Amino acid sequence: MRVRESLFHGETATLRRHAVQILGAGVAAADPGTGVHRAVRLQGDRLVVNGRAYDLATGRVFVVGAGKASARMAAALEEILGDRLTSGAVITKYGYGWSLRRIMLIEAGHPLPDAAGHGGARRIAEIADAAASDDLIFVVISGGGSALLPMPAGGITLEEKTAATDLLLRSGATISEVNAVRKHLSRIKGGQLARLAAPARVVTLILSDVLGNPLDAIASGPTVPDPTTFADALAIVDRFVLRGHLPASVLGHLEQGAAGLIPETPKPGDPVFAGVQTVIVGDITVAAAAAVERAQALGYRTRLHETNAQGEAREVGARFGTMVRDARASAPPEALPLCLVMGGETTVTVRGTGRGGRNQELALAAAGPIAGLPQTLAAAFGTDGTDGPTDAAGAVADGATLARARARGLDPDEALRTNDAYPFFAALDDLIITGPTHTNVDDLWLGLMGQAPAGGSRTAS
């Protein structure tokens, strides 16, 4: 994983280099192509997916899907299937494309949907709807799929659905809450793609970006049962006091659904799911385990704290910074250097008009507790290479961050208050900028403490 050389500066320059190597190992381990090859094998006329066999002697094979990793996943299926693949269409974020031969690649807007995504979703729906009972449809799903697969319910325009999505994202709602509403504003999410494809055979391959891997929440679960209801969606709208701000068509659709005037999304036990197999090909635990292994190989005594942390980015960041500070203070000399690994996905309640993302905000909040500590840093990183609406994947804070900032006239408290972490870290050359990683398995956070090792391996404590 390559980043700008300007990131490696100050007394923590070597720690920073090691942090990038450790994070890069996590990204490499979560490569979606590797995950697909691990799950899918072609054996003559039989295709074996996670132990389940499919006869390819008759019928066609299609690949559809959406997400930041969908193009890489589709490429892996092209490699496996070769000439047995008929065609398909996948939608990914602008800049996240991959070379495909038989599958149509569509790049579209994220985190807010656009017309390109809308057109791609219609094409995917057409492929699913035209499939016959002996056809096999692969659906490749990864983080970002909800925004990249927009097909609004009747009476709702794309602009109106986009406005509703923007309100939810800025409200501090969790991704599961956002997706519960999205599913009930869509004609394709919440199991409705499986409804379109039935009775064709469907294999869904998922690279998970949702903690705990709830299948219905990842990309709003287009091929799995939806346990949420219109009433649940309305309750989320009310929880964040958005009823008076939603477009009238959106609110009206949810209210009609809650009143039983619009059919619900398909639920557990619906026969449309009889021919659907779902396989997780990668998640945050794979990335975190690889990060731990790389840190140990570099010579750090390494602790994996957890991989399912949630909450407000600034609050989680403050806690993480405190954990790093306390670990540094309590560690005897022989326990250093130390690496603390943590994973999860936070939310940001947008209160200001600044620019940033959840990992930049988390790193900024972590800077306070570790201020003044020598040879100590905290790094926060989005495994997809994108943190919020910025070109950064995250940021690094060390013991000198706040002092350096104030020397330049930067106010860290004001940057937090206005959600303006991006220009704060940009001025300090502390942004982690990687470009697209073609994977997406939540976020990784590192705390590195002590004199950077010259090499060697140490076991976890």
- CATH superfamily entry for domain 32-151+186-228+265-282: Glycerate kinase, MOFRL-like N-terminal domain (3.40.50.10180)
Full-model pTM: 0.87
Cα 99 to chain centroid, rounded: 22
Where are the alpha helices (H) located in 215-351, listed in sequence order? Answer: 230-239, 248-258, 284-298, 313-330
Q: What is the pLDDT of residue 325?
A: 98
d(CA 222, CA 177): 16
User: What phi and psi values does residue 315 have, to the nearest 5 degrees?
Assistant: -75, -45
Pairing assessment for the beta strands 52-55 and 46-49 based on DSSP bridges: antiparallel
Residue 54 amino acid letter: Y
d(CA 337, CA 306): 20
d(CA 86, CA 124): 14
Residue 458 amino acid letter: R
Give SS3 for 224. Answer: coil
Q: What is the pLDDT of residue 455?
A: 60
Q: What is the pLDDT of residue 172?
A: 86
Q: What is the pLDDT of residue 281?
A: 97
Give the closest residue to 111 by CA, choosing from 358, 388, 435, 422. 388
- Domain coordinates in residue numbering, the chain: 5-28+285-449, 32-151+186-228+265-282
Give SS3 for 155. Answer: coil
Burial 251-285 (b: 16+ CB within 10 A, else e): bebbeebbeeebebbbeeebebbebbbbbbbbbbb
Q: What is the pLDDT of residue 175?
A: 80
d(CA 97, CA 106): 8
- What architecture (CATH level 2) is domain 5-28+285-449? 3-Layer(aba) Sandwich (3.40)
Q: Are 174 and 208 in contact (CB under 8 A)?
A: no
Q: What is the pLDDT of residue 461?
A: 36
Q: Which two tokens stand for residue 173?
A: 């709602």
d(CA 388, CA 397): 18
Give the closest residue to 444 by CA, choosing from 33, 58, 24, 62. 24
Longest pairwise C-alpha distance within the chain: 70
Q: Are 442 and 344 in contact (CB under 8 A)?
A: yes
Give SS3 for 282. Answer: strand
Low-confidence ranges of the chain (pLDDT < 50): 457-461
Q: What is the CA radius of gyration of the chain?
A: 23
Q: What is the pLDDT of residue 457?
A: 47
